Amino acid sequence: MSQSGQDAPEQVRAMMAADEASRALGISLERAGDGCAVARMTVRPDMVNGHAIAHGGVVFTLADTAFAGACNSWGPVTVAAGAAIEFLAPVRVGDELVAEARVRSQAGRHGIYDVTVRRAAEVVAEFRGRSTTLRRNPPGG
């Protein structure tokens, strides 16, 4: 599959087509639908910090992209209201990371999503995002 998640709903494909940040980091959305999504990225040399491990913001962005795919898979434009991440293992250049997001709770315009980031079978980070569905599409959307 591709950057735009060919198997994803149209609204998610459109969102990913306009997502310059994910594209610049080489993040691909593998699939999205029914409150779930999977995103993938390989850590490059320009993504590591002074300790030769992936910058936490890069891992967060991968998880956030999967979160966005999952919470927008329902249809209406949905944005993050907040998020937190726990880093469990260092990530290094060449590591292929996979972030798998799933809805945990949905009530009205608000949702909670969990994202597990793995390197092969090893969990390297856990992310929890809170979403809010917009009352209407944003300007230009």
**What's the pLDDT tens digit per position in 45-101?**
999 999 999 999 999 999 999 999 999 999 889 999 999 999 999 999 999 999 999
The confidence band for 2, taking pLDDT boundaries of 50, 70 and 90, is very low
Quick one: which of 73, 63, 69 has its CA closest to 117?
63
pTM above 0.85, yes or no: yes
CA distance 61 to 54: 12
Quick one: which of 103, 99, 98 has its CA closest to 113?
103
Query: Structural domain boundaries of the chain?
Result: 10-133
Please give the mean pLDDT across all residues of the chain: 92
Q: What is the pLDDT of residue 55?
A: 97
- What is each CA distance from 58 to 6, 54, 69, 102, in whole angstroms? 23, 7, 17, 20
- What is each CA distance from 109 to 105, 124, 132, in whole angstroms? 11, 30, 5
Range 10-133: architecture per CATH: Roll (3.10)
Residue 29: pLDDT above 90? yes
